[in-house]
Amino acid sequence: MWAIIKKEVKTYFLSPIGYVFIGSFLLMSSFFFYQYIFYYGSVEYSYLFYYTAELLTFTIALLTMGMFSSERKNGTETLLLTSSRSITSIVMGKFLAALAVILITQIFSLIYYVIVCIFAKGITGLTITLTTLGGFMLLAMAYIAFGMFISSLTENQIIAGVVTIILLLVSWFLPDLSPAFNIISPLYQFQKYPGGVVGISETITLLTQTILFILLTIIVLQRRKNLK
């Protein structure tokens, strides 16, 4: 699995994908940071994540759309599925590589927290910040798993990316229709974390969504392998 993680991380940064994702994410985060911190005069860094969580909905497709669709289109899927590595290790390797890119992005974004601490003349809201970061990573895990699953269903990266964004956007608004849809909206589950609240049910739901779509991806690939 470690070899797959290294290969996938290299792929992200030997192509424009990793740089475009990190650059676009930080650029838009900077805009929101300026609006919220400087324009409104707030020093609550954690609430910036309300905006970046929404931003992640649009940018996560950059990391996930080519995970498996590009393998099918380039004809390398057969080699991948017939290799000595298990389907589970392949899926988890790709998942963890994308998560590593998110983690790198968040490490860079801590510069905003440093700026907030400078303006506040001391460390401020550390506990809430760590809680928010943890919640954001849980949200990212659910998004990556979902995007990876969509990528496993098609050989067209554009279709995979567009479908991922559309369905994640739909999940934004479903809770407005009925509280029964709250459980299928990752963004809704994230909302408590910027307030410093670690909701047990929200954490379990995000982890369940992540595991579910990872398992569905494994099932799709295993079925395709059996048909080859």
Mean pLDDT by 10 residues, the chain (228 residues): 86 90 88 73 71 88 91 77 84 95 92 80 79 93 97 92 95 87 91 84 95 96 79
Which amino acid is it at 139?
L
CA dist 205 and 224 (Å) reads 29
CA dist 220 and 138 (Å) reads 23
CA dist 50 and 101 (Å) reads 20
Domain range for 99: 2-227
Number of domain units in the chain? 1
Question: Could you tell me if 192 and 202 are in contact, meaning their C-beta atoms sit under 8 angstroms apart?
Answer: yes
Give the pLDDT of residue 35: 74
Q: Which helix (H) or strand (E) holds 18?
A: helix 16-33
Give the pLDDT of residue 153: 93
DSSP assignments along 51-117, one per residue: HHHHHHHHHHHHHHTTTTHHHHHHT-HHHHHTSSS-HHHHHHHHHHHHHHHHHHHHHHHHHHHHHHH
Give the pLDDT of residue 83: 78
- Closest by CA to 113, choosing from 98, 124, 102, 103, is 124
The alpha carbon dihedral of 104, 106, 107, 109 has a sign of: positive
CA dist 215 and 23 (Å) reads 31
- With DSSP H G I counted as helix, E B as strand and the rest as coil, what are the percentages for the chain, rounded to 5? 85, 0, 15
CA dist 228 and 217 (Å) reads 17
CA dist 124 and 118 (Å) reads 9
Give the pLDDT of residue 39: 66
Give the pLDDT of residue 41: 63
Residue position matching structure tokens 């080859």 = 228
